Structure 1
Amino acid sequence: MDVTEWLSRCPLVAILRGVRPDEVEAIGEALVAEGVVILEVPLNSPEPVESVRRLAARLGDRALVGAGTFRREAEVEAVAEAGGRLLVTPHADPALVRAAKARGMVAMPGFLTPAEAFGLLDAGADALKLFPAEAGGPPMLKALRAVLPKGTPLLPVGGVDARSLPAWREAGASGYGCGSSLYRPGDTADAVAAKARALIAAL
């Protein structure tokens, strides 16, 4: 499936920053059971590639599993070899997008300006992550919608929670990257499932 099909199943991207390999499978299972099927392990988490490996082995047929906070092409290679199929970055780096696409991954790089957005799309990005989204708010996303190619998947990330979801949706968001509103280090699988239900209800 391409990224739009995954987003049509559930528009939430679970950002599991700080998750550990020994807990990631239970948390991933809880999220998928609630319908959240895009799972991102940021690379500044403990043993992130091992967490990706475990998620991909257990949930790869039911979820789009990958990593975030990429900075180097070697990291793309490591995550791809672990079974990761999603690249998310906090910044606009066309080289990382091209590296991900060369390995058959879905590329969802971060951007903040129209110039960055167009450069990333030219490099082959499948979707764009507006980050930090709270810096411009929903009005910024709505303005970007007017100039970016029709149908470009746009996902705000940063400060997105159940309270702000309706405003982002009204502004034209295709999906939503949810970090602390969905998972904080130390959360149990049950706690994450409850947070997922609250966010889905807000949609």
Structure 2
Amino acid sequence: MNPIDKALFHILQRCGLIAILRGVQPHEVVAIGHALYDAGFRIIEVPLNSPEPLASIRALRDALPADCLVGAGTVLSIEAVADVAAAGGQIIVMPHSDPDVIRAARAAGMACAPGVATLTEAYAALAAGANMLKLFPAEALPPHVLKAWRAVITPPMALVPVGGIVPESIAPYAAAGASGFGLGSALYRPGDQAPEVAHKAAAFARAWQASFGTSPATA
């Protein structure tokens, strides 16, 4: 297990809340990153369809403590994996399950969370080296589906619903066996300032603590 894999494993044991900062800009990302870190978040993703995403990834990696993983979302190609690695990224998140992209991320020493919507896709992603599975879109994969997946994809493999997750979603997915959650527009929308993000992050942190028994802010 490489250092990033070990870090990901330990983070998910404490707090599996993953911030997705789609649309964030480099000049504002550090303040938002600090607000998320203070709320207990330890994985922050900047989707590559954001303005200057590589600059934001580099800024976050330079500004935040080493126990916070920073990476990219909406990664669609091997070339993009290389760009993210050069910017200091540590985790690759994908909307799909391209085995070549997964293998490129793993070869670069990064964690990889491909998007999967069926068990066939999930097993193909695992065979390619994925070490976290993004259940996407979560609206199409409700808790009873995740519970069925858990019968054949057992812990410690992480199952992370992404898409439409709000604080009220945490408890039913947690009961079904979710390991974490990718949080998008309910946590951050373009133009949100750090205090607003901190307020929304705190609501997710409370929901996490109520369902998992650990406080992200003190984990």
Q: Taking structure 1 as the reference length, what is the TM-score of the superposition?
A: 0.97
1:199 to 2:204 alignment: yes
Matching residue within 25, 29, 33 for 1:28 = 33
Matched residues, number: 203
Shift of 1:149: 4.2
For residues 8 and 16 of structure 1, the distance between their equivalents in structure 2, rounded to whole angstroms, comes to 22
For residues 99 and 158 of structure 2, the distance between their equivalents in structure 1, rounded to whole angstroms, comes to 17
Between 1 and 2, higher relative CO (CA 8 Å, sep ≥ 6) is seen in 2
Q: Calculate percent identity across the aligned residue pairs.
A: 53
For residues 101 and 171 of structure 1, the distance between their equivalents in structure 2, rounded to whole angstroms, comes to 28
Q: Which structure 1 residue ranges, 4+ long, deviate > 4 Å from structure 2? A: none
1:13 to 2:18 alignment: yes
Matching residue within 119, 125, 145 for 1:120 = 125
Secondary structure of the equivalent of 1:28? helix
Residues 99-127 of structure 1, C-alpha deviation per residue, up to 9 Å, x if partnerless?
A: 00111001111100111100110111111
1:7 maps to a residue whose letter is L
Q: Which runs of 5+ in 2 are unaligned?
A: 1-5, 209-219
Q: Which runs of 5+ in 1 are unaligned?
A: none
Q: Which residue of 2 aligns with 1:186?
A: 191
2:79 maps to a residue whose letter is A
Q: Taking structure 2 as the reference length, what is the TM-score of the superposition?
A: 0.90
Secondary structure of the equivalent of 1:76? helix
For residues 154 and 39 of structure 2, the distance between their equivalents in structure 1, rounded to whole angstroms, comes to 32
Matching residue within 138, 148, 156 for 2:161 = 156
After the TM superposition, which residues 1-203 of structure 1 pair with which residues of structure 2 at under 5 Å, given as runs?
Answer: 1-59=6-64, 61-203=66-208
Please tell me whether the aligned partners of residues 70 and 87 of structure 1 are also in contact (alpha carbons under 8 angstroms).
yes
For residues 59 and 119 of structure 1, the distance between their equivalents in structure 2, rounded to whole angstroms, comes to 34
Secondary structure of the equivalent of 1:147? coil
2:28 maps to a residue whose letter is E
